[in-house]
Amino acid sequence: MATKSNETAREVYQIKVTLLGTKPPIWRRLLVPANLTLAQLHDVLQIAMGWDDGHMHEFRVGQRRFGRPVPADRFMRMPRTESERTARLSPVRGRAGATMIYSYDFGDSWEHSIVLAKQPPADPSTTYPVCKDGELARPPEGCGDIPGFYDRLDALSDPNHERQEELSDWIGEDFDPQAFSLDLVNRKLEPKRRRASTPNN
C-alpha cells in the first residue's frame, strides 16, 4: 500500500501566479510537485517571473508567515516566521481554490497571488516544475513599486518627456514590457525538475 508521503509525491498542482496591482496582469501558470518545500517554490517563482533573487521574501497563508526565520525577531516582538525549508506546499495549501501571497523585495513590495487552480494527474513521462503559460515581463528590479513602474513606462513611451533619455538609460534598451518567453523560462527551470513519482527528499 502506498504511503501518504509517496501519494503526495505523485501529486501535481497547477498554480497561477499573478503580480498584484498590474493591469493588464503579469502572470504565469505552472505545474509543480505538491511536495515542494516553500523554499523550493521560491526558487521556481524567481525563475518563472524573471526576478534576480537579490532581496528578501516571504509567503503568507492567512495569519501564518513562512520564510527564513530571524532569531532576533522574537526579541523585537515581530510576528513569528515559520521555516520555508520544512513547510511543504501540499499541507500548507492543499485544496483547489486556495490562495497564498508571495512577497518579494520588501522595499518595492512586489506581491504575488498564488492560486491553486486544480490538481491534474501527474504524467509519469514529465518532470516538474513546468511553466505552461504566462503574459508580460515583470517590472525591472529597483524601479520603486507598481505605480513607479507604470510612471516609468509612461515616460518611456513619450519621446517629449523630460526624463525620457534618463529612464531609457536606466531601464535598458532591451527591456520590452510585452516580452515573455515560455521556452526560456522552461530552460531555466530544467535544473529544478524531477519526476512527481519520486519519493519526498
**pLDDT given for residue 128 in this prediction:** 97
The size of the chain, in residues, is: 201
pLDDT at 87: 95
What tens digit of pLDDT does each residue of 82-96 get? 999 999 998 887 677
> What domains sit in the chain, N to C, each tagged with a CATH number?
4-136+180-195 (3.10.290.30), 139-179 (no CATH)
Mean pLDDT of successive 10-residue stretches along the chain, which has 201 residues: 51 96 97 96 98 96 91 66 94 80 96 93 93 96 87 79 72 82 97 68 46
Alpha helices in the chain (DSSP H): 4-9, 38-49, 89-92, 146-157, 164-171, 182-189
pLDDT at 78: 66
Among residues 114, 124, 119, the alpha carbon closest in space to that of 49 is found at: 114
DSSP secondary-structure letter at 99? E
CA distance 138 to 149: 10
- Relative to beta strand 130-135, strand 26-33 is antiparallel
Residue 190 confidence (pLDDT): 96
Radius of gyration of the chain (CA): 19
- pLDDT, position 94: 62
